[in-house]
Structures are given as structure tokens and as C-alpha cells.
Amino acid sequence: MISFKLSEQQMQIKEMTHWFAEKEIRPIALVADELGKVPDEWLHQVNQMGIQLNTSSFGGGKGSSKGKKKREREGNRMGVLATEEMAWGDPAITLSLPGAGLGGPPIESSGTPEQKERFLSIFTTDIPRWGAYALTEPEAGSDASGVRTTAKKVEGGYILNGQKIFITNGGRASWVVVFATVDAKLGRAGQRAFVVEKGTPGFSCTKLVKKMGLRANETAELLLEDCFVPTENLLGGEELYETSGTKPSGFQVAMKTFDSTRPIVASMAIGIARAAYEYTLDIVRREYPSHGKFYYLASEILAEAEQDIQAARLLTWEAAWMADLGIANAKEAAMCKAYAGQMALDVCSKALELLGPTGLEGHLVEKLYRDVKVFDIFEGTNEIQHLVIARRQYAPYDIRV
């Protein structure tokens, strides 16, 4: 049986991050949303505190794992605990924290030792830095196998050409993990992952996207025009692809990343739902007596919200636990992400209905409602999550879904 009682260390992480979210993040959330950015001085301050967003090992950007005693991995479980609390404070600010972000897991899982040291060590400095992950394109979003950015082999490296869209922290990232194909006719098998560094000739940020929600977080469009990337920046090196036969290794790198990051995204959705639920519950308790039709209506709606939040949390904890133990968790990661995203949208919608005028623009729940919509879209839409789940349901029967 899995124990759902948090260890002392896990409880400390949860309490520490909640304190930070309450004291440091929540007070600037509405201002950052209005400005459309997180203040630079604030980002420098939190980086000095050692707080970073590293999705495969939350808060682990500073320091090294060298010399530590080998023990059971807990990075994914720590990650979902901490991210829920941070997103409770504000999801856009959480995504804006310095660190490797979504670019960390593919480097950690598929990078060579030299690549891990080279690209991840930059986050140990006192200067805030970001990493990013570029898979989505105008013609390749939910269908990640449809990547059209090309990678042409030349002496000493590759020439990349293509466009990437909706890239979190893409404009300010020190490096971006970019997915491209060496031959579109090969489909998934032709995909490769490259680490493209900021300042590389032919690599540019063409636009920062204005959004309905998560306004304080930078979302970029990137362009690669005859961009030369040296062979040493091919993630995993040439050997990874030479020894993989017909396996779609580049595609597998992308999918393996999602198995780690989808529980993180789910935990953020849970944090948003919890923030809306707690804010609404507090107002109902303070402003309405424990009788009358509205009180009983609100009580029923909020009770259902708490139930759904807890169900999403348990799904997410299981997926993170499996990832830490090295158990294949693609189905569970898809389940928690699909359920949590829709659940959070429903909870925020019900909270707005209960709040009435208090839920209008300029109030916390209205902002959360705008923020939460993307959580059933990015990291794979809910339809894609259901396809992932269905394929694994039917796998034993060899039925194509």
C-alpha cells in the first residue's frame, strides 16, 4: 500500500513553500498580472534565496548531487507538493521563477554527463537564469510527431530552420531544448532534440505573446533561420540515435519529459483550484449566517469542490510516486493532468458564480479563472490525455486507437 502521510522532510517542503507563496508571491500577484510581468528585482531576490523552478527536482537548482548518499528519489513527489503551494500563491509567478523549468527533464533524462554539467550548472550562480522547452509549432501542437522544424547535418553540427510558438520563458532563456527532424519522411524516428543557446546566430525571439491568463509569465515565439548548432549540443549525442535503431528517440525524449512534467502541471491546477475554493469559502463563512438557502447552496457546491480537489491530488501524488520509483507512469501522468485541469476550471467557475460582484475584474478569483483555462490545453490537451490513456487500456489487446 502507498502511504499518504507526508514524511517530515515532505511536510517541511510543503510548509516552507506555502509560507513563501503567502508572504512573497500572493501580495504581488494582482500587480504582476496588471503589469504583464514579474518585477526583475523580485526575481533577483528569490534567486538569491535559492528558490528556482526545476520541474524534475523542485528547488534543486543550486548545489550539486555529487557526493550525496544514494537514496530513494523523491524529487517528483517534492515537486508536486511544492508546486501546488506555489501555484496557490500565483501560477504565473511560479512559472516565471528562475531555473531550468521544462527544459530540465529532457537534459537530466537524455543528456550526456558533459551536457548535464554544462547546461544545468548555470543555475547555481547568483544571477537568475532560465531554461526553456520548444516543441510546439504552428502545425504541430497536440500532435507532437508532426514537428516540421528541420535539422540538416553538416560538418561539425546541424543547421536548424523552423518556428516554435507558445514557449514559456523562451525569450529570456539562456538555452532552449528544441525539437527538430532530420527527415520528415521518417516521422517520429527522424526527430532529434538540440540545446540551442541564447545568442546563437540565426536564433531569435520574434514575439512575446499577450494572453488572457498567466499574463505575468513570458510566452515567446522563436525563429530558427539557418541556425548552426554544434554536434555537442545534440541532446544525448550521436550515439543515442545511432544505437536506437528504428526507435523514435527524439520523440521519446519529448514524451518522457511529459511523464515528469504533467504531474507538475496537474499540481499547479490543484493549487489554483484550492486558492479559489479557500477564498470563496472564507467569504461565505464571514458574510453569510449558517442558515438560509444561499448558505446551503454554497455549502453543497464547496463540499463538492473540496472532494474534487482531493481526488485530483491523490491521482497526482500517485503519478509522481511512480516517477520517483522508475515505474512507467505515462497513463497515470495523463490521468492526473486531464482530471486536474478540468476540475480546476470547474471549481473556479463555481467560485465566480458564488462570489457575484466580488468575482469581477481586479479580484483574485477572476484572475484565477483566466489563468486556469490553459491548464486543460498545454502539456497536451485533455483530448490528447484521453488518447494516451486509451492506448494503454487497449495495449494488451493490440487494438490501434
Residue 379 bears catalytic tag: yes
- Rounded CA gap, 374 and 362, in Å? 20
- Rounded CA gap, 49 and 301, in Å? 39
Cα-based distances in Å from 249 to 100, 255, 257, 323: 22, 10, 12, 19
- Rounded CA gap, 81 and 316, in Å? 10
- Rounded CA gap, 319 and 270, in Å? 14
Element (H, E) at 198: none
The DSSP result for 21-46, as a single string, is IIIIIHHHHHHHHHHTS--HHHHHHH
Q: Which of 87, 263, 54 is closest to 169 using CA atoms?
A: 54
> Could you say which DSSP state residue 212 is in?
S
- Rounded CA gap, 145 and 168, in Å? 20
The DSSP result for 290-334, as a single string, is S-SHHHHHHHHHHHHHHHHHHHHHHHHHHHHHHHHTT---HHHHH
Q: Which of 24, 16, 14 is closest to 78 using CA atoms?
A: 14
Q: Which of 131, 141, 72, 123 is closest to 325 using CA atoms?
A: 72
Out of 24, 332, 379, 383, which one is annotated catalytic? Answer: 379
Place of cell 492506448: 391
- Which of the residues are catalytic? 379
